[in-house]
Chains A and B, each alone.
Chain A
Amino acid sequence: MNETPLLEVEDLRVSFATPNGPVEVVKGLSFTLGREERLGIVGESGSGKSMTGRSILRLIRAPGKQTAKTLRFDGLDLMAQGNRQMRKVRGARISMIMQDPKFSLNPVMTIGEQIAEALRVHERLPRRDLRARVIEMLTSVRINDPGRVARMYPHEVSGGMGQRVMIAMMLIPRPQLLIADEPTSALDVSVQAQVLDLIEELVTGNGMGLILISHDLNLVARYCDRILVMNGGEVVEACAAQRLHEASHPYTRGLLAAQPRMEETRDELPVLDRSGGAGT
């Protein structure tokens, strides 16, 4: 048993230079992720979820800047790695799934070529084995007729299938950590559940860690062990997923209460008290 956590984050900060001076959008985040743990990060748009996800992979682009007291993955100090070393970490050991597959897939490459490429970067395999792995991976993300789909281009598949292709690409190198940033927000409810069930199954089956980023409280409660609630670049509450309904921070309580329920009997939904008063 390996006792060190998979990921240790201490005092993570992301800031942007603006004409009025630097603006901090992630303000000193600290958390650890255990091996095989599934962590959810929730919050409303602009709360800093994506910047947090991207900074773990050191993907903050100028004029953004990130700092951290500790950013350690499986014992490796990520802040000390150069660009070249980080490229070896990305995809191979930590993968990230973004919200919209249309922006993440290469439009002029077939799906099969892209998945093979994702694997080839990290592993040398004979052509035939490569093809077999691609088909196997497409099958594991429940794509019927994987041989035919491998020859298709991204624009020829539906959103749900595109997102499953993304998952195949991200998981084929067998990373230790998967970061999924709103992986299903662009999809239908009916397809959402399928895609998340699939991520859950593959993450659990392969002993991976998961960071699931979403604005949907119920969704992270369903698929994660632990939850961080973000607001304005800070974690306002951390709790076990089962205890989300017992959350105590007013912001978390506000978010929970503002959601309509399947059995809704309230005449009015409580709204968050926004200081600033500009209304929404």
Chain B
Amino acid sequence: MTIPAISLKDVDISYGDTRVVRDVSFDVALGESFALVGESGSGKSTVLKAIAGLAPEWTGEISVLGKSRGHGMDRAFSENCQMVFQDPYASLHPRKTIDTVLNEPLAIHGIGRRSEKVIEMLAAVGLDRRFRFRFPHQLSGGQRQRVAIARALMLEPRVMLLDEPTSALDVSVQAEILNLLKRLRREQGLTYLMVTHNLPVVSFMCDRMAVMNKGRIVEIAPKTALYDGGFADPYSRELYAASGGNPGAEPDMVAPATKDPA
């Protein structure tokens, strides 16, 4: 058996006295792209935060690339596992230039050849060099999300935790960022754990998904369940129906055109 990239076993997570995630177990294989879906408040971001060391109150076992994670920040850990947040407006420091933002992780980890690395990374995420010395407010939402992805990739992690990385963006910008993430994963052999409420995004980006409801995983399904609605759990089916199902499979759902007389 090969070691999974991410493994959670019987994980419970609390904020103070409130337990918000219960009994969560799943494995993500090396190179796999795995989604966490479910409505807001179901605990998706909390799971990502616990893996990233940003939600310290948990019990159970969490390991990444075979190393179990301790509670709290862990420098060696962050070299392997990085997180990208939903809101590109809130996640970048307003008074730091893009150059500073991308340099920081390298400086903290004592890595050299910084200037070249920054320039390479800007090219990798499709940002022109002239953006290097700009501030976040001088960029569009899509450009900021490219910077956030670039920052996460500076340490060449093998596992990326993506929390709704395109939810704040327009469709056309979302398409560009999703293409970018897909290409980077292919080129660098990355493993993705991605939170989203958008099921078609799962269909494009992921191999499997865990459906969460009220802090628990109710079902783990392959992405093909999105093609035919083949979910086992009633809650998953409800979520699928609320997202419009697969209009390709049932033309009536998108265009309630004149029905044939029976």
Contact = CB atoms under 8 A, between A and B. Distances in A.
Contacts of B175: 258-260, 269-272
Interface residues of B, number: 45
Interface residues of A, number: 36
A260 B142 contact: no
B171 A44 contact: yes
Contacts of B249: 263
A279 B244 contact: no
A139 interface: no
Among A190, A260, A262, find the residue whose CB has the most chain B CB atoms closer than 10 A. Answer: A262
Contacts of A259: 171, 175, 200
A191 B179 CA distance: 29
B172 A192 contact: no
Contacts of A260: 175, 178, 198, 200-201, 203-205
Contact of A271 (B128, B172, B199, B243): B172
Contacts of A266: 204
A45 B172 CA distance: 11
B254 A222 contact: yes
Contact of A280 (B140, B205, B242, B247): B140
Interface string B243-262: 11111110001111100000
A188 B39 contact: yes
Interface in A205-247: 215, 217-218, 221-222, 241-242, 244-245
Contact of B255 (A188, A221, A261, A267): A221
A255 B173 CA distance: 10
Contacts of A107: none
B40 A188 contact: yes
B139 to A, nearest CB: 9
A280 B143 contact: yes
Interface string A140-181: 000000000000000000000000000000000000000000
Given A261-B248, A263-B249, A280 B172 contact: yes
A254 interface: yes
Contacts of A261: 200, 203-204, 246, 248
A109 interface: no
A268 B173 CA distance: 13
